[in-house]
Amino acid sequence: MRRRRWAALAVAAAAVACSDGDRRAPAKSAAAAAPAPSASATSPDDCPKSGAWRPCNVLDRLEAAGLAPLARDSVRHSFLSVPGAVYALGRGELQLFLYPDSAARARDFARFDTVRVQPPDTTVAWPAAASLIQSNNLAAILLSANAAQVERVRLALTAGLPAK
Round to whole Å and give the CA distance between 144 and 89.
Answer: 9
- DSSP helix/strand/coil, 88: strand
Domains of the chain: 45-158 (3.40.1000)
Which pLDDT does position 125 carry in this prediction?
Answer: 95
Q: What share of the chain is helix, strand, coil (3-state, %, to 5)?
A: 40, 20, 40
Round to whole Å and give the CA distance between 31 and 52.
Answer: 33
Round to whole Å and give the CA distance between 142 and 58.
Answer: 13
Q: pLDDT truncated to tens, each residue of the chain (164 aa)?
A: 444 444 444 444 444 344 444 433 333 333 333 333 344 444 556 788 888 999 999 999 999 999 999 999 999 999 999 999 999 999 999 999 999 999 999 999 999 999 999 999 999 999 999 999 999 999 999 999 999 999 999 999 999 988 87
Which pLDDT does position 31 carry in this prediction?
Answer: 35
Q: What is the CB-side half-sphere exposure of residue 77 using CA atoms within 13 A?
A: 21
